[in-house]
Structure 1
Amino acid sequence: MSYKKLKRNKDQRKALLKNLTTAFLRDEKIETTEAKAKEVSRLAEKMITLAKKNTLASRRQALSYLTDEDVVTKLFENIGPKFQERQGGYTRVLKKGPRQGDGAPMAILELVE
């Protein structure tokens, strides 16, 4: 998969995206920079698509990426069935404005109802 670099090396970027994706699926809403939100959105969409399949193989794939088993359970029992009829577009990125300290563009990433 190709990602934006996010000014990090490969291992740091991978860990950051894993943790942000896990946090997003746990809380169903996070606030982060626009670039990170867009990348996490891509990954979360793929995880939700796996949850919609609801097979043992897809659950194991999700477990290999997400860092918390409880989040995987929530993904497959609550989030996946909620989007069963929807053909993609499970997340929404709302632009929030610049961050106070450094002016980085911020965004809110949330699940579509």
Structure 2
Amino acid sequence: MKREDVLSGPGIGREFVRRFAGHRPMVKLLMNTGKIRTSQEKAEQVRFVMDRLVTLATADSDAARRQAYKYLNDNRALNRLFNHVAPCCQEVEGHYVRLTPIGGAGTAAPMTMVELPLEEKP
């Protein structure tokens, strides 16, 4: 493995495959709880993945469900995505996930709260 492979890409000093493999558990946790706390760089990467999944969910077709399930591998998270998150994001164009900086502890990485827009509409 070349050293530039590890250092290329945004931030966290891992190869693309290992960096991308870390997204799925965070995305599943975000789908089940509605918000998670993570570092700023990981939050931006989770936002990228979630924006793509929510865009798929707004289409609300069988093909979109299959593509989302291919990434999530979890029926509970899939149903929450299509039944709760997608209806809240129908009118919004992109940036479906809210990132709120919450600071860091001393010299640690800056932390960010990642939240889904799950407000119920009247």
The reply to whether TM is greater than 0.5 is yes
Question: Mean Cα displacement is larger for which, 71-80 or 6-15?
Answer: 6-15
User: Structure 2: any 5+ residue segments left out of the alignment?
Assistant: 1-8
The residue number in structure 2 matching 1:111 is: 116
User: Structure 1: any 5+ residue segments left out of the alignment?
Assistant: none
Residue 10 of structure 1, CA deviation: 3.3
**Residue 74 in structure 1 maps to residue 63 in structure 2:** no
**Cα deviation per residue 1:34-72 (whole Å; 9 max; x = unaligned)?**
000011011101111111101111101101111322100
Structure with more strand by fraction: 1
Aligned residues: 110
TM-score (norm 1): 0.86
Q: Identity, % of aligned pairs?
A: 32
Amino acid across the alignment from 1:98: G
**Residues 100, 113 of structure 2: 8 Å contact kept:** yes
Amino acid across the alignment from 1:52: T
**Residues 11, 41 of structure 2: 8 Å contact kept:** no
Work out which of the residue numbers 36, 42, 59 in structure 1 matches 2:48.
42
Alpha-carbon distance in structure 2 between the residues aligned to 1:65 and 1:5: 23
**Residues 47, 62 of structure 1: 8 Å contact kept:** yes
Work out which of the residue numbers 83, 86, 96 in structure 1 matches 2:89.
83
Distance 1:23 1:104, change over 3 A: same
**Residues 51, 76 of structure 1: 8 Å contact kept:** yes
Q: Which has the larger radius of gyration?
A: 2
**Residues 63, 69 of structure 1: 8 Å contact kept:** yes
Amino acid across the alignment from 1:88: G
The residue number in structure 2 matching 1:6 is: 12
The residue number in structure 1 matching 2:25 is: 19
Amino acid across the alignment from 1:34: Q
